[in-house]
Amino acid sequence: MSFYGLVDGSDSSLRNCLKQLPGVDQVGAEARAAMLATRSIKTTSKAWAIDTAISMVDLTTLEGADTPGKVQALCSKAFRPDPTDLAVPHVGAVCVYNDMVGIAREHLDSIGAQELPVAAVSTAFPSGRASMQVKLQDTEDAIVAGAAEIDMVIDRGAFLSGRLIEVFEEIVAIREVCGDRAHLKVILETGELVTLDNVRKASYLAMLAGADFIKTSTGKVAPAATAPVVLVMLEAVRDFYDLTKVRIGVKPAGGIRTTKDAIKQLVLVNETAGPEWLNPSLFRIGASALLNDLLMQRMKMSDGYYASPNYVTID
Amino acid sequence: MSGRLEVMKTYKLYINGAFPRTESGRSYEITSNKGEFLANACLASRKDLRDAVVAARAAQPGWAKATAYNRGQILYRIAEMLEGRSDQFAQEISLQTGASAKESLQEVSDSVDLLVWYAGWSDKLPSLAGSTNPVSGPFYNFTVPEALGVVGAIAPIDKPLLGFVAAIAPILVSGNTAVALASSTAPLSAISFAEVVATSDLPNGVLNILSGQQNELAPWFASHMDIDGLDISGLPVDQHGAIKEAGVENLKRISAFTKSSEPGRILAFMEAKTVWHPIGN
């Protein structure tokens, strides 16, 4: 593997590469993110943003209490978010636990949603605390069951104790399992990485190791996708594109619940990585409750009066 | 040395237990009946209404689940807090409406008494409005009144305190949460009333208070799909038809009342739930 010609897969080359990354100005990043959050998106721009955001949602259910019935209902909703309005686009993907992948795939195929991918959270999600053998098997199982996207978690313990090469090799190994069969999203769990410098470092590490997407969080740890974290990750994919001419996607997940939050994310994307990233193939939002709020805002725009949660499904 | 510079109160909105300014940044002048400047009040926008409804909706299940006894106690507590600030409220009413000190004090006393009157209804509603119904089968069949949900109220222009209390107390006592628009010309009493509410153990979001223009906000109250009922006693009668029409989309219960104290004001914003239960041996 060439790793974009930037590292050779050895510990020293990885360290040297990551050491060259400039530090993040935390105050500056927070101020920039806060400033971009004040942009006002109205009328036709807002309508466009709502539909774009819907098409970027990775509609997610990751509960111990998930049942086949709930997953099937989620799939139906993912394909036709508002059954009364066929102009509403389908979401980006359905994101479920491994054992639900087959059920989700089968149900999506049965309702004519062949183009809608299923994403599986893999590698002992959300903690990542399992043997390598288990993680590889976990990933293989998901792909065989029909997952087109794998959301893996990194070993935050190893990353924080400086064993970067372990994290790197793990991603490389999962990447090999995925091959051409599945896209790989690497979850950094930024809520546990402590500093924005670490977020930048982990982003590069994941991209070098072969991630197609870098994802903020599992959704099980707070804080999750805060604006400064997403900003730093978007800067990382932008700079990585300048280096390699390869576009890596970004997926914030966790804590994005309202249309306002989602539109703020789109502003961040447009102003940081650029409009090329305003596309479901390069930007996704991991969420569950968000979709209902987007639908309610969409109803408000088309009907002219405020909508009620009584008119969208209970998740 | 000049005299002390008076510290004036900023009158803000009351949403979800906090006192925010309007998101629109707008304000309007409140004047006495002689035209003298009294204060700047927030000119609430439809987005403030939207935020208030979200808060009221979130607070509603918890408030409805509180025991009737507890809801009555809290309304009584509001009355206690208001009683202690009678003079301040009377003075504020006189400034806004030009009523004499005696008349204003009477309005405050009436408001306190009205709160106590409505507080007393909390645990009597099921006996008053509920029933056991004869059915042709081995079942007990009960009907019990339950809160409707989120109810809007447009308070009358005159009687800035009594009119406001008469609008919100009957909504709250049964377990509804309320979003209330204060008198457009004399909103200061309602906003000061929010300070009383904030110290009375009423959970955040159960009562939300806006100040602004009736003709701007009333149509948004009527069309909002997440408002289940609306008291339009404060609107001129010639506008009732249009408001009722705008509220038809979600079958909103829209009512207007003339008396301050009548159980009908409570029952207008309650649902009847009927339960069948088999008779055992």
Any idea where the domains of chain A sit in the sequence?
Answer: 3-303
Q: How many CA atoms lie within 13 A of A214 on its CB side?
A: 29
A199-204 long-range contacts, CB within 8 A, separation 24+: A199/A24, A199/A229, A199/A232, A199/A233, A200/A21, A200/A24, A200/A232, A200/A235, A200/A236, A201/A18, A201/A21, A202/A154, A202/A159, A202/A167, A203/A232, A203/A233, A203/A236, A203/A237, A204/A17, A204/A18, A204/A21, A204/A236, A204/A240
pLDDT along chain A (315 residues), means of 10: 88 94 96 95 96 97 96 97 94 96 97 97 94 96 97 96 96 96 96 96 97 96 94 97 96 95 97 97 96 96 93 87
Tell me the C-alpha distance between A107 and A101, whole Å: 10
Other Cβ atoms less than 10 A from the Cβ of A205: the count is: 26
Q: Where are the beta strands (DSSP E) in chain B?
A: 27-31, 37-42, 131-132, 139-147, 150-154, 177-181, 207-210, 229-231, 253-255, 270-278
Place of tokens 């509960």: A63
pLDDT at A314: 84
Q: Pairing relation of β-strands B150-154 and A93-97?
A: unpaired
pLDDT at residue B74 tops 70: yes
Q: Which two tokens stand for residue A206?
A: 């994941």
CA distance A188 to chain B (A): 33
Q: Pairing relation of β-strands A118-122 and A93-97?
A: parallel
Q: Which of residues 200-259 of B touch A (CB under 8 A)?
A: 220, 223-226, 249-250
Tell me the C-alpha distance between A197 and B52, whole Å: 40
Could you read off the pLDDT of B251-280 as tens digits, one per residue? 999 999 999 999 999 999 999 999 999 997
B225–A305: do the CB atoms touch at under 8 Å?
yes
Place of tokens 């009620």: A308
Helix residue ranges per DSSP H, B122-202:
125-129, 162-173, 188-198
CATH superfamily of A3-303: Aldolase class I (3.20.20.70)
pLDDT at B18: 97
Q: How many CB pairs under 8 A join A and B?
A: 26
CA distance B57 to chain A (A): 10
pLDDT at A19: 94
- Per cent of chain B over pLDDT 90 is 95
Tell me the C-alpha distance between A168 and A202, whole Å: 9
A306–B225: do the CB atoms touch at under 8 Å?
yes
- Nearest CB to A309; choose among B223, B226, B249: B226
Tell whether ipTM is more than 0.90: no
CA dihedral over A290, A291, A294, A295, signed as positive or negative: negative
What are the structural domain ranges in chain B? 27-278
pLDDT at B280: 78
pLDDT at B1: 60
Give Cβ neighbours of residue B13 (< 8 Å, ≥ 6 apart). Answer: B19, B20, B21, B22, B42, B44, B48, B52, B191, B208, B209, B210, B211
Q: Which residues of A are catalytic?
A: 151, 215, 251
Question: Exposed, middle or buried: residue A35 (CB in 10 Å: 0-12, 13-18, 19+)?
Answer: exposed
Closest residue on chain A to B49 (Cα): A306
Question: Which CA distances in Å does A147 have to A156, A181, B123?
Answer: 24, 9, 56
Q: Which two tokens stand for residue A241?
A: 């594109």
Residues of B in Cβ contact (< 8 Å) with A306 = 46, 50, 53, 220, 223-226
- Per cent of chain B over pLDDT 70 is 99
Residues of A in Cβ contact (< 8 Å) with B50 = 306
Closest residue on chain B to A293 (Cα): B54
B224–A309: do the CB atoms touch at under 8 Å?
no
A308–B225: do the CB atoms touch at under 8 Å?
yes
Q: Is residue A262 a contact partner of residue A297, using CB atoms and an 8 Å limit?
A: no
On whether the B27-278 domain is CATH 3.40.605.10, my answer is: yes
Could you read off the pLDDT of B50-69 as tens digits, one per residue? 999 999 999 999 999 999 99
Chain B contact for A308 (CB, 8 A cutoff): yes
CA distance A46 to chain B (A): 16
CA distance A295 to chain B (A): 14
Could you read off the pLDDT of B153-163 as tens digits, one per residue? 999 999 999 99
CA distance B225 to chain A (A): 5
- Nearest CB to A311; choose among B53, B223, B225: B225
Could you read off the pLDDT of B201-242 as tens digits, one per residue? 999 999 999 999 999 999 999 999 999 999 999 999 999 999
Residues of A in Cβ contact (< 8 Å) with B223 = 304-306
Residues of B in Cβ contact (< 8 Å) with A304 = 223
